[in-house]
Amino acid sequence: MVLFGAMALQAQLLTLFRDANGKYGFKDQTGKTIINPEYDKAFEFSEGLAGVRQNGKWGFIDISGEEIVKPQYDYIGSFHNGIAHINTGCKVDGYGNPHGGLWGFMDKTGREIIPPKYDYINRDFLGGYTIVGLNEKYGVIDTTGAETVPLKYDNIPDAAFGQYPLQEVWLNDKAGFVELKTGKEIVPVKYDDVVSFSEDLAAVNKGGIPQNFRVLGGKWGFVDTTGKVVIPLLYDIPFLSESLRFQNGKVQVDKDGRTFLIDKTGKEVK
């Protein structure tokens, strides 16, 4: 661990540079070249390793310039918490953005912990999970590659992904929540809209009509972490549906033309 920490710190002191021939290498803080400019493209070091490209393929080197992963991928990402995403078969546009191909993940030894087999990934693991997709169906995997949520959903929003054990999912224009660890549908996928959990309650809607990436109309209520409706679907939204999150045990709602606060039992409070 001490050696790894020292290497990571040393890597932070190396600066990427480009020579007159357009090749990339690395210098230390004194300006001394540590890794010769022999790469067509390179990324800054992250967690002791840097992505480098030769002959159109990407791999990784360490701070001494030693090849840890031979250039063989069409795109790679930087390491975060010991894991980096990799791609085979993609095309990279003029801005450096990858398109197409199949995605997987690698550890710092160069081992493919998840071989490239998904056409979509959420890039980084959050709370030990990430969203993956194949053939326009989406699910969730953990850091071992196990598919904890099966790839059967039309959409899994990433806005609040990993912040709560229950994750919003969509199928056939209906929404609900699944448990990230087991994939079990805790809140049935039957609502016209939902808002992610806050203080163990989530807003759910029935009767709303999708329009411009939000749902208009319908009535809102709240479910708990078992999927039980604890506050009936009687309310309108005061602003955007995203405002229907509890803070300090209260949330603002509209009903019968009035705007007021309710507590977690549905009782009106000040």
Which structure tokens are listed for 132? 């993956």
Look at residue 167 in the predicted model and tell me its pLDDT: 96
Residue 124 near residue 137, CB atoms below 8 Å? no
CA dist 204 and 220 (Å) reads: 6
Tell me, yes or no, whether 238 lies in a domain.
yes
For residues 67 and 59, is the Cβ–Cβ distance under 8 A? yes
Give the domain extent around 109.
1-118
Q: Is residue 42 part of a domain?
A: yes
The reported pLDDT for the residue numbered 4 is: 46
**Per-residue tens of pLDDT for the chain, all 270 residues:** 545 455 555 666 899 999 999 999 999 999 999 999 999 999 999 999 999 999 999 999 999 999 999 999 999 999 999 999 999 999 999 888 999 999 999 999 999 999 999 999 987 898 899 999 999 999 999 999 999 999 999 999 988 888 899 999 999 999 999 999 999 999 999 999 999 999 999 999 999 987 766 778 899 999 999 999 999 999 998 667 778 999 999 999 999 999 999 999 999 998
State the total domains in the chain: 2
Task: Return the DSSP state at 46.
Answer: B
Q: Which of 90, 118, 146 is the last residue of a domain?
A: 118
Same domain, 3 and 114: yes
Q: 105-122: b or e for each residue (b if 16 or more CB lie within 10 Å)?
A: bbebeeeeebebebbbbb
Last residue of a domain, one of 118, 151, 177: 118
So what's the pLDDT on residue 163? 86
